[in-house]
Amino acid sequence: MGAERKSMVISNEEKRVTAYHEAGHTLVGMKVPNADPVHKVTIIPRGMALGVTQQLPEGDRHSYTKEYLLGQISILMGGRIAEETFLGNITTGASNDIEKATELARAMVCEYGMSELGPLTFGKKEEQIFLGREIAQHRDFSEETAIRIDSEVRKIVTEQYERATRIINENRDTMVRLAEVLLEYESLDGVQIRRIVAGLPIDDTSESTQTGTQQELPGAKEKESSTKPLTPILPPITGGTPAPA
């Protein structure tokens, strides 16, 4: 994730924008099927990023399904959508997300054969050995095909943008709660994120404190044991590689 830049001075407004941006990535990442679990989210600046959402796979991945790649594009779009939906504005903070989403969609069309153009590749890569091993791409398709490729790339990104928008709009209360807690704590781990999304206190200590207060009252212990629901057991989170900033 890079080294923390705690000395970097950020205004409260910019910090709020970052919190909602990263909460957007996180919420969509929690709701998209078959996505890697969200391991951590932070609004403490790291490297060039003002905030980071980190996903870690549960095991080694050697190939990726179309559904997984589409989910990744949705997650990348989540930050931009959260800014626009809850803050009424958009910022340059989503520029890297948009770039990654567009590159991934183009790879799906031109390299992986995951579009309506069929199982074809477009653009032959040539390695220039005597120019520092730079890779150039040779265009081996017509202008008409280029237009269709652009159309397919736009279609993929637009559909996943709309998908992420639906997820955020359907979970508005959770989205606000996640962003506001992130503003307060600045960094959240996977278990804390799951508790927030489930509507539970961020830590078990919150429940323990409330329980201790109730036990001071006569008969509170017996009443609590019969009425208080059990806290759900959250599955462990294991790791692998980081995901979108």
**Annotated catalytic, 126?**
no
CB-based contacts of 94, cutoff 8 Å, min separation 6? 21, 79, 80, 83
Residue 135 bridge partners (DSSP): 127
| Backbone φ/ψ region at 14: left (φ over 0), alpha (ψ -120 to 50), beta | alpha
State the catalytic residue, choosing from 14, 22, 84, 134: 22
Q: 125, 136 in Cβ contact below 8 A?
A: yes
- Contacts of residue 152, defined as CB under 8 A and 6 or more positions apart, other chains included, come to 105, 109, 115, 116, 117
Helix, strand, coil fractions of the chain, as percent rounded to 5? 55, 10, 35
Token pair, residue 15, equals 């910090």
Q: Which residues pair with 52 in a beta bridge?
A: 42
Among 223, 245, 228, smallest CA distance to 97 is for 245
Please identify every residue annotated as catalytic: 22
